[in-house]
Amino acid sequence: MARRRTVGACAVIGALIAAGPLVGACGESKWHYVDNGKENTYIRVPNGWKVFTIDSRAGRPASLPDSVESVWHIAFDASAKPSLKNVTALDALPPASVDKPVGQLEIFQVTGTFNQELSLTTARSSVLGIDPIVVPDDVKDLVEIDKYTPLAHDGLQGSRVVYNLHNEGEPWQTVDATTLFDQSRNRFYVLRIGCTSECFKQNQKAINDIATSWKVVK
């Protein structure tokens, strides 16, 4: 179960995975913490954003093999009328237009061949639908990389990519995606946050604060 906390957060949050410092003092009322103690993962989200806890059997990316199981899945939406429909629009390729920030954090249990063959590329492409770093020629004009940061910490490997996606006739969409995996623990982690590029610029600080607040503690 996801638990929200607004006090005492500093005492339980461990090593930072995504690059960048926490912004603001712990326990500020404008944030609440969502955590999964069993999975030792924590993230903070603005208090005005709606947080959904999703049944682990629902919303699983079809691109993942059957052996991959979702063990924790939350979503969040900054719109005045939040809904999971807004959140899932971010997953479409090309993406549907979302004019307020939405995001998802999901943890998967991975075993067998898929776990053994996990790499930075397969981790990104398995959930995002494409690897924005290595884009096929037929869609390369539809993807722009803004930032790329490789990540490695305490057995975790992965990357954080901020990229723009074009949908003909629709505004450009910007996505901030972090994928991490720990093959020794059979875990694969995915955090995605995004909206239209104009919306992303207007909410860049809040989006970055969420991404950099995410932690996995061993």
Q: Tell me the torsion sign for CA atoms 190, 196, 201, 203.
A: negative
Other beta carbons within 10 Å of 147:
10
Range of weakest confidence among 5-19, 173-187, 198-212: 5-19
Compute the distance between CA of residue 209 and CA of residue 121 in angstroms, rounded to an integer: 25
More confident residue, 20 or 3: 3
Query: What does residue 141 show for φ and ψ, rounded to 5 degrees?
Result: -75, -10
3-state secondary structure of 87: helix
Give the mean pLDDT of the chain.
82
Q: What average pLDDT does the segment 102-109 reach? A: 94
> CA Rg, the chain, in Å?
16
**Percent of the chain whose pLDDT exceeds 90:** 50
**Percent of the chain whose pLDDT exceeds 70:** 81
- How many angstroms from the chain centroid is the CA of residue 135? 20
3-state secondary structure of 85: helix
The pLDDT score that the predictor gives to residue 56 is: 63
pTM strictly above 0.75: yes
